[in-house]
Each structure stands twice: as C-alpha cells, then as structure tokens.
Amino acid sequence: MPTAPQAGDVLLLVGTVKGAFILRADAERGAWTIDGPHFPGESVYAMAYDGRGGRNRLLAATRSFHWGSAIRTSDDFGATWSGPERQNVRFPEDSGLALVQVWQIVPGPADEPDRLWAGVEPAALFESRDGGESWAAVDGLLRHEHRPRWQPGGGGLCLHTIVPDPTRAERMLVAISTAGVYRTDDGGATWRPRNEGVRAEFLPNKYPEFGQCVHKVVHHPARPERLFLQNHWGLYRSDDWGDSWTDVANGVPSDFGFAMAMHPRDVDTVYIVPIQSDEFRITPDAKLRVYRTRNAGASWEPLTAGLPQEDAYETVLRDALATDAHDPAGVYFGTRSGKVYASADGGDSWTCLADALPSICCVKVGVVGTPAA
C-alpha cells in the first residue's frame, strides 16, 4: 500500500482461490486501493482483522499444495506475513484426523485480546490463547458422540460459522455442513444440537435432530439471543439462542443461498444473496440482487442500484458478504467470477471495486483502530 492505513480506514480482506487481496479506503469509502495478491497460487478461504489490544493484526487461512493449510499473521497490514511452514493448526495424533482447510477465523472478546477461534475441515473448533501463534482443538466437540454420523456437504465436512455470546463467555454456537447447529453452554465441555424447526430437504426425515446443511448463522451483539440462519433451502430466525427456529423466507425469490450478514447497528436488519437452487447455483433469473430485511425477516426487499440485472450468472459464497462499522454502514460482497461490489449507504446503491480477481471465497472487513471484525 502506498501509505500506512490511518484510524477509521476500511480494510476489505478478499480471499480467493489464488491468493488474497487487501482493498483500502478512508471512512468516506469513495476511492479504493488494491494490494495483492498475497500468497499467490494458494487458496484463502478465511481472513480476519484483529484490532484488540492496540494491535493491527491480519489473519489469513492459506492452503498450499506444498505446505498444506495454516493460519498466517501480519502485523504490518500485509507487508510481511508469518511463514507457510509453520503448521500451527494440528489435530491431536490420537484423533486420527488431518487438517484439510481452515474455514473461519473469529477474534475473541475485547477483554481477552489473545484469544481467537478457528473452524476447520474436517469439522472441528480450534482455540488460540496467544494471538494465533498456536492452536488447540476444543475436545468436547472433537470427541462428540455424533461425529461418526456427520456427513460432508458439497464443500466438505466443515465447521464454517462461530458465534460467541458476548454476554456469557461460556456460551457459543457453531454451524457445521452437514451436521447443523450445535451450542455449548459450559465453555465447550459439552455440545447439544440446536436445529428444531430447521429443514433437511435432502433427508427422508425432514426435521432430524442433526444433519441439516446449515450455510451460515449471524447475530448482533446487542441482541445475541436472536439468530438468523441461511440453510440449504430455508431462511430462519431464532429468538432463544437456537432452541427453536422459525421460517422467515417471506418474499424472497429463493430460500436457497449461502451468504448472510448483519447490519452493524440495527438488530433487525440482515442482508442475504439468494441463489436459484442447489442444482443451478446462480442468482435467480441471472439478476444480481442483494436482499435486505429491516424487520427481522417479516419482509425482504431487493437492492439493485448499480448491480447488473441481466446476464449476471453469479454466485456468492457463505463468507463473501460483510458489513463495516461506519455510519452509514458499508456493505460488501464478492462473487465466484471475481467481482467485488461495495455500498457506502447500507445497500441502497452499489459500485464495482474490482471485476477480474480470481474466484472469491471470502470477504471480511476491518476498520483500523476498532477491536475486531
């Protein structure tokens, strides 16, 4: 980057199948620079910004044909990164499992600046207590009695979503494809499936205890007991930390999709990008539209200004939609065809920031000087 990022700058962390890119703009988000590729030739399915404890740390989950999978860190906005040879995410030898890929990186609470979590394939939760230098598997989930019956989805058997409770350190929810939602209320010692009301369209029993192909779960820290879930067919809301789920697919062209993101301040506003079907994974009618609810799923509205409304055979993956903490909120997404779109007004209008990147796996946002994203 030509100049050092300043407080309030927005960092758009874009992971692709052939490396990572860092897009940057000031708080007005009018002009953007692009830096990269970082890790050229390696797939990057997870990234995160960690601004806790006064640091400005970037984390990236890379997968190399030579080195395998690792979580890399940078404390100088990507000028330098920790080396690929440091295999810092390893399963215990007695588990019989080997790491395929890291799917999610989530910074911990602000008062524990060295704590992070990672979700991986094969499905497991890892924890770091030293800022990402080393990682250990959470044993209660790793040894869960349901594990032998979990089945991989199209992308593998992956733990792709981690939702900590900001009000209760011992509570966390994770989502696994295809095992569904699991929650711990005792700091990870035990985990219970929390899928009541969520449909498994591809199974004979449409409402099993577990086995749903959940694609994403989001929540707002100001109302953590309310969760929104994008399923492999189905949109849901829970108002009791996942104990029960209600369908909220009200007026969307398809309830199949992957991406889902919360508004940074409004607990009733959520964004999704519907996909036509599991067999034809493009935006419905080849129109690229982000859908927004402002009433917790009672209704959804298409956001189209600046987005192509014909011949847009696009797909947006589960972690390729994100929001920033500015006011008005910025909303961002990337497509499998390598396009990055941004809105600086909460989704009302859109601009294409890049149109020829490698296929995009994830889009994450950091605001310099804020704790984490």
pLDDT in tens, the chain (373 residues): 457 888 999 999 999 999 999 999 999 999 999 999 999 999 999 999 999 998 999 999 999 988 899 999 999 999 999 987 778 899 999 999 999 999 999 999 999 999 999 999 999 999 999 999 899 999 999 999 999 999 998 889 999 999 999 999 999 999 999 999 999 999 999 999 999 999 999 999 999 999 999 999 999 999 999 999 999 999 999 999 999 999 999 999 999 999 999 999 999 999 999 999 999 999 999 999 999 999 999 999 999 999 999 999 999 999 999 999 999 999 999 999 999 999 999 999 999 999 999 999 999 999 998 887 6
Largest CA distance in the chain: 57
pLDDT at 83: 84
**CA 225 – CA 171 distance, rounded (Å):** 11
Token pair of 142 as six digits: 């790793």
Q: What is the pTM of this model?
A: 0.96
Separation of first and last alpha carbons in the chain: 20
CATH number of 49-314: 2.130.10.10
The answer to whether residues 119 and 103 touch, using CB atoms and an 8 Å cutoff, is yes
Report the alpha-carbon distance of residue 362 to residue 258 in Å, rounded: 12
**Dihedral, CA atoms, 352, 354, 356, 358, nearest 10 degrees?**
-120
Nearby residues of 309 by Cβ (< 8 Å), 6 or more positions away: 287, 288, 289
Two tokens, residue 174? 């994770």
Separation between Cα atoms, residue 227 and residue 258, nearest integer Å = 15
Which amino acid appears at position 363 of this protein?
Answer: V
- Residue 1: the pLDDT is 43
pLDDT for the residue numbered 373: 64
Q: What is residue 139's three-state secondary structure?
A: helix
**Two tokens, residue 238:** 């829970």
CA dist 69 to 15, 115, 196, 250, 339, Å?
14, 20, 34, 40, 25
**Which sign does the torsion angle of CA 65, 114, 163, 188 carry?**
positive
Beta strands in 39-114 (DSSP E): 43-50, 57-64, 68-74, 101-107
DSSP bridge partners of 193: 182
Give CA–CA dist 297/234, Å, rounded.
12
